Amino acid sequence: MEKDMLFSGESVNVEYKVAVPKDSAKYMKTVVAYANGRGGKIIFGVDDKTLEVVGMDTDSIFQTIDAITNAISDSCEPTILPDITLQTVEDKTVIVVEIFPGKMRPYYIKSKGMVSGTYVRSAGTTRPVADYMLKELILEGQNRYYDCEICEELTITPEDIERLCAKMKATAIRNTLTEGEKLKVKDVTQNVLISWGVLAEKDRAVVPGNAYALLTGQARFQPVIQCAVFKGKDRAYFVDRREFEGSIQDQMEAAFQYVLEKINRGMRIQGMYRQDRYELPVCGR
């Protein structure tokens, strides 16, 4: 089962290379992205477009493994130790390089430095890290988390806290399905927000955390949700695109409504049964 999943197509934690590139930078971005995330595997000897198993040259395969190991050791900071194995598929040998989630984040390409050389994995692609995500990786490496850090540039009043508490409860109620579920929604209080890490206590005062800034749309690097409707299936052309700003919950609500507006619903009838089919717009952060 695991073997079938490993060769069923690229995903957030699986990437194929038909051969080992002479320029190691072409796969080193993925190496550090895996270390900064949940880990993953790079499989050499598989065509990423056709999924054809082409295999590696068995006469020099151990020299190739040494070259991959040395490239990762020389190119990455902090040091990344891959687990490299050989697998035989369709009578051909491929190299499987597994990168485990790292504890000393952020991991980056030495030659580019931390700011330009840090990458993360998102939806099956490797991308440069955004400023706020780099800060989060740094905090994770220190066993701290961005959301719970104090937001020094913001001040809050008891009225601000009450407004957020009321809004969060209203959002929870609005997203319930039955009257019974509505009755089970509890009040959100200042102490609850402190226990969640949205607020913090400092010098006997209640202060906002970065989570508070994100939930109220006041973060310095506020993330945005982008939605688009593409023509065809290759995402080369889009017919509509929107970008939503504001608090996290407002963005999610707006994106959800956008999906409902743009969704194309059809059906297929087979005998006496009907199957609904949907085509969804693509959303991203």
Of 26-35, 59-68, 168-177, which gets the smallest average pLDDT? 168-177
pLDDT at 285: 53
CB 32 within 8 A of CB 108: yes
pLDDT at 147: 86
Q: Are residues 208 and 135 in the same domain?
A: no
Q: Are residues 164 and 137 in the same domain?
A: no
Position of tokens 């507006």? 261
CB 96 within 8 A of CB 86: yes
As for how many domains the chain has, the answer is 3
pTM of the full structure: 0.60
Q: Which of 141, 156, 178 is the last residue of a domain?
A: 141
pLDDT per position as a tens digit, 185-221: 999 999 999 999 999 999 889 999 999 999 999 988 8
Q: Are residues 124 and 152 in the same domain?
A: no
Task: Please say if the pLDDT value at position 278 is more than 60.
Answer: no
Q: Are residues 184 and 231 in the same domain?
A: no
Q: Which of 141, 159, 182 is the last residue of a domain?
A: 141
Judge whether 76 lies within some domain: yes
Q: Are residues 82 and 62 in the same domain?
A: yes
Q: Are residues 122 and 43 in the same domain?
A: yes
pLDDT at 230: 84
Q: Are residues 43 and 156 in the same domain?
A: no
pLDDT at 272: 44
Judge whether 51 lies within some domain: yes
Q: Are residues 131 and 16 in the same domain?
A: yes
Q: Are residues 211 and 234 in the same domain?
A: no
**Range 86-115 burial, b when 16+ CB lie within 10 A, else e:** eeebeeebbbbbebeebeebbbbbeebebe
Judge whether 220 lies within some domain: no
Q: What is the CATH number of the domain that holds 97?
A: 3.30.950.30
Residue type at position 149: E
pLDDT at 84: 95
The whole-number average pLDDT for the span 222-234 is: 84
Task: Print the domain residue range for 71.
Answer: 2-141
Task: Please say if the pLDDT value at position 143 is more than 70.
Answer: yes
Task: Please say if the pLDDT value at position 274 is more than 50.
Answer: no
User: In angstroms, rounded to a whole number, what is the distance separating the alpha carbons of residues 48 and 15?
Assistant: 8
Task: Please say if the pLDDT value at position 179 is more than 80.
Answer: yes
Q: Are residues 131 and 174 in the same domain?
A: no
Q: Are residues 171 and 249 in the same domain?
A: no
Looking at the chain, list the stretches that DSSP marks H as alpha helix, in order from N- to C-terminal side. 2-6, 25-36, 61-75, 113-117, 131-141, 158-174, 179-184, 190-196, 210-215, 248-262
Task: Please say if the pLDDT value at position 282 is more than 60.
Answer: no
Q: Are residues 185 and 229 in the same domain?
A: no
Q: Which of 103, 125, 141 is the last residue of a domain?
A: 141
